[in-house]
């Protein structure tokens, strides 16, 4: 089957800063794809270009076969967007926000009404439909934004750091919602700097660093290469990590005389560090100990 | 196209409805103050031509408020663009640029008509009786179309809310005082009159005042307003893409 998102040599330059240095990427229909990288790595820039909010300096991008610049109007019908910043109309009610969105996408009155009711149920907010958005909590606003992105039944949903700033309980609710949307057949393109979010949700992950994709794989494949267990040790040169295939191997290593360690499961951040030498949670010069780079 | 345009317009109307009484109160303050300061302050016996100054002032205030409130749509767009980020919802939707511009221009014109209605009400309460027929409202229509189109175009070009405030200070405020609002143009030196002829509000004041006096408006001024309105609308439509990064 053809890819639903095709990105070829996408570049973006802001004056002297090269935000994207030639991105190549394909996403299959129905896939839940995560774009993982530290702040400033180019995640939001990519989404902004794909959704028409920014212009690429060069390169092409197709959404469901429609070029985002040549078929601007048609390509925008292919996706729904949940941006990083809450951009609902605070002075309007939840229903009015959704209704305006439906009108912008040319939906008929009866379709809008039916779909809004269904989605309010889907996000478990039927009882808040007449609430002004400014009176909603951050988590509820996020849910409304997800419903808004789904309203016109797009093939793709772009989620730009959808759980940033939310408490862990609300974050898990949003994750369930995202999983549910994907299970209903929608392609999800997710950017995040939360490791556990990408690990829990994504079928494939791209690691992005300084405007370049440095690796693409499934979370399991990334982690398998390192092993199953990790031991973090605070040495003289700082924190470094050793990886092991089994828990027993890790225990034997610890028993050989290490103190001040943490034993844990290998995660995606370990893979990111192994590839880039940097932590995802750090922007700029987030280099970690040299012991890790050798992995 | 019409549905997209209506969606943009409807959003502005819903916000306007939410803030209706606050908006009415705000629109009433300036004309009331101008009427008190310039109208009553000048005294009842002060005439312009053969008419009392209040009769001269009300059409001028209508032209000025029509300009200010239609141009005010730029602030609304900028709040949506730079503060609430709602403008990105439009950018990411399949709305044609022309539909966006038309919807926002209509919203600006609606505010303008509201402001003029309030001035006429204040004037009526003050005992000023003029002619508010088809030519008067055509003048208001052209003036608000022109300035709402100019506002939408500038709102797409500015890079911050502060830039917008600068434009208002340098463009709108001088025009409000020099466009034949508070005093007759013929009292100005000839060279200044020639310069002020290039200000759109001069023509709007002329058309609106003549109509309010029951006279036929100057055809040249009507054509100038129509021409500039169309030019600004086209420019606004052509610069929407500049609002993208």
Q: What is the pLDDT of residues B120-152, one digit of tens each?
A: 998 898 888 898 999 999 999 999 999 999 999
Please check the confidence at residue B83 and state whether its pLDDT lies above 50: yes
Sequence-distant (6+) residues with CB within 8 A of B197 are none
Q: What's residue A291's pLDDT?
A: 31
Give the ipTM of the model, two decimals please.
0.89
Q: What's residue B211's pLDDT?
A: 95
Alpha carbon distance A75, A68 (integer Å): 5
Among A83-87, B181-185, B188-192, the range of highest mean pLDDT: A83-87
Q: What's residue A283's pLDDT?
A: 36
Contacts of B94 in chain A (CB under 8 A): 73-74, 76-77, 104-106
A99: closest CA among B229, B101, B3, B136? B3
Please check the confidence at residue A224 and state whether its pLDDT lies above 50: yes
Please check the confidence at residue A1 and state whether its pLDDT lies above 60: no
B27-48 average pLDDT score: 80
DSSP code of residue B99: H
pLDDT band of A16, cuts 50, 70, 90:
confident
Domain's final residue, options A220, A254, A272: A220
The angle, 0 to 180 degrees and rounded to 10, between the axes of the packed helices B53-71 and B200-212 is: 130
Contacts of A133 in chain B (CB under 8 A): none
Range of the domain at A255: 225-293
Instruction: Examine the domain organization and report whether A193 and A216 are in the same domain.
Output: yes
Is B15 close to A92, i.e. CB distance below 8 A? yes
Kind and range of the H or E run holding B143:
helix B134-157
When CB atoms are compared, the residue of B10, B91, B94 closest to A53 is: B91
Please check the confidence at residue A294 and state whether its pLDDT lies above 80: no
DSSP code of residue A91: T
Instruction: Examine the domain organization and report whether A193 and A74 are in the same domain.
Output: yes
Please check the confidence at residue A199 and state whether its pLDDT lies above 70: yes
Instruction: Examine the domain organization and report whether A260 and A141 are in the same domain.
Output: no
Please check the confidence at residue A86 and state whether its pLDDT lies above 90: yes
Is residue A61 helix, strand or coil? strand
Alpha carbon distance A73, A66 (integer Å): 9
Is B90 close to A104, i.e. CB distance below 8 A? yes
3-state helix, strand, coil split of chain B in percent (to 5) is: 80, 0, 20
Is B94 close to A88, i.e. CB distance below 8 A? no
Instruction: Examine the domain organization and report whether A268 and A198 are in the same domain.
Output: no
Please check the confidence at residue A131 and state whether its pLDDT lies above 50: yes
How many residues are listed for chain A in this entry?
Answer: 295
Instruction: Examine the domain organization and report whether A200 and A265 are in the same domain.
Output: no
Torsion angle in degrees (nearest 10) through CA of B124, B134, B10, A70: -140
Q: What's residue B163's pLDDT?
A: 85
Interface of A with B (CB under 8 A): 14, 48, 51-55, 73-74, 76-77, 79, 81, 83, 85-92, 96, 100-101, 103-106
B192-206 average pLDDT score: 92
Alpha carbon distance A273, B37 (integer Å): 71
Q: How many domains does chain A have?
A: 2
Instruction: Examine the domain organization and report whether A148 and A55 are in the same domain.
Output: yes
3-state helix, strand, coil split of chain A in percent (to 5) is: 35, 30, 35
Please check the confidence at residue A239 and state whether its pLDDT lies above 90: no
Instruction: Examine the domain organization and report whether A162 and A120 are in the same domain.
Output: yes
Cα dihedral sign, A215-A218-A224-A230: positive
Tens of pLDDT, residue by residue over A18-74, are 999 999 999 999 999 999 988 889 999 999 999 999 999 999 999 999 999 999 999
Instruction: Examine the domain organization and report whether A270 and A154 are in the same domain.
Output: no
Alpha carbon distance A212, A41 (integer Å): 8
E-state strands within A53-210 = 58-63, 66-67, 79-82, 156-160, 187-192, 204-209
> Measured between CA atoms, how close is B201 to chain A, in angstroms?
33
Q: What's residue B44's pLDDT?
A: 65
Instruction: Examine the domain organization and report whether A170 and A53 are in the same domain.
Output: yes
Is A89 close to B86, i.e. CB distance below 8 A? yes
CATH number reported for the structural domain that contains residue A157 in this entry? 3.40.50.300
pLDDT band of A280, cuts 50, 70, 90:
low
Please state which of the ranges A152-156, A192-196, B8-12, B198-202 shows the lowest mean pLDDT.
A192-196
Instruction: Examine the domain organization and report whether A200 and A243 are in the same domain.
Output: no
* Cβ atoms A60, A231 nearer than 8 A: no
E-state strands within chain B = 47-48, 51-52
Distance, CA of A84 to chain centre: 10
Instruction: Examine the domain organization and report whether A162 and A265 are in the same domain.
Output: no
Domain's final residue, options A190, A220, A250: A220
> Measured between CA atoms, how close is A4 to chain B, in angstroms?
18
What mean pLDDT, rounded, does chain B reach? 91
Instruction: Examine the domain organization and report whether A199 and A263 are in the same domain.
Output: no
Please check the confidence at residue A282 and state whether its pLDDT lies above 80: no
pLDDT band of B223, cuts 50, 70, 90:
very high
Please check the confidence at residue B176 and state whether its pLDDT lies above 50: yes
Please check the confidence at residue A285 and state whether its pLDDT lies above 50: no
Q: Which of B11, B16, B92, B107 to mutate to test the interface with A (most CBs of A within 10 A)?
A: B92
Domain's final residue, options A175, A196, A220: A220
A146-166 average pLDDT score: 90
């Amino acid at each position: 089957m053809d890819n639903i998102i095709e990105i070829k040599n996408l570049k973006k330059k802001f004056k002297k800063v090269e935000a994207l240095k030639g991105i190549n990427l394909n996403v299959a229909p129905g896939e839940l794809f995560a774009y993982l990288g530290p702040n400033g790595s180019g995640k939001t820039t990519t989404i902004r270009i794909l959704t028409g909010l920014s212009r690429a300096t060069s390169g092409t991008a197709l959404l469901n076969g429609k070029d985002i610049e040549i078929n601007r109007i048609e390509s925008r019908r292919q996706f729904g967007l949940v941006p990083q910043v809450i951009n609902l109309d605070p002075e309007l009610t939840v229903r009015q926000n959704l209704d305006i969105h439906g009108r912008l996408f040319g939906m008929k009155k009866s379709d809008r009404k039916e779909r809004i009711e269904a989605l309010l149920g889907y996000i478990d907010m039927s009882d808040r439909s007449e609430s002004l958005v400014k009176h909603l909590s951050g988590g509820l606003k996020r849910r409304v934004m997800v419903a808004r992105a789904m309203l016109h039944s797009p093939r793709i949903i772009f989620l730009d750091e959808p759980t940033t700033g939310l408490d862990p309980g609300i974050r898990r609710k949003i994750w369930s919602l995202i999983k549910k949307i994907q299970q209903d057949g929608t392609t999800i393109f997710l950017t995040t700097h939360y490791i556990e979010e990408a690990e829990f949700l994504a079928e494939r992950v791209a690691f992005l660093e300084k405007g370049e994709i440095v690796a693409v794989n499934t979370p399991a494949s990334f982690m398998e290469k390192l092993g199953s267990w990790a031991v973090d040790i605070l040495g003289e040169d700082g924190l470094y990590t050793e990886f092991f295939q089994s828990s027993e191997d890790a225990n034997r290593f610890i028993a050989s005389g290490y103190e001040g360690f943490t034993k844990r499961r290998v995660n995606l951040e370990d893979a990111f560090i192994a590839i880039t030498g940097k932590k995802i949670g750090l922007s700029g010069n987030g280099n970690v100990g040299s012991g890790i780079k050798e992995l | 196209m019409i549905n997209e345009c209506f969606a943009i317009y409807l959003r502005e109307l819903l916000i306007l409805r939410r803030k209706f009484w606050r908006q009415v109160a705000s629109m009433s303050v300036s004309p009331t103050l101008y009427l008190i300061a310039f109208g009553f302050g000048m005294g009842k016996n002060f005439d312009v031509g053969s008419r009392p100054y209040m009769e001269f002032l009300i059409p001028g205030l209508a032209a000025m408020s029509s300009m200010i409130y239609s141009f005010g749509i730029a602030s609304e767009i900028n709040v949506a663009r730079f503060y609430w980020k709602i403008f990105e919802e439009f950018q990411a939707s399949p709305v044609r640029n022309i539909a966006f511009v038309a919807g926002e221009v209509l919203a600006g014109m609606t505010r303008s008509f509201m402001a003029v209605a309030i001035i006429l009400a204040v004037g009526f309460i003050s005992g000023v009786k003029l002619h508010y027929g088809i030519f008067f409202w055509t003048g208001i229509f052209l003036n608000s179309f022109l300035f709402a189109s100019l506002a939408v175009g500038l709102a797409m070009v500015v890079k911050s809310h502060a830039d917008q405030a600068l434009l208002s200070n340098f463009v709108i405020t001088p025009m409000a005082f020099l466009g034949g609002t508070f005093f007759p143009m013929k009292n100005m030196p000839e060279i200044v009159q020639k310069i002020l002829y290039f200000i759109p509000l001069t023509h709007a004041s002329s058309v609106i005042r003549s109509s309010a006096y029951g006279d036929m408006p100057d055809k040249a001024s009507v054509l100038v307003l129509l021409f500039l309105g169309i030019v600004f609308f086209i420019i606004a439509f052509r610069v929407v893409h500049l609002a993208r990064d």
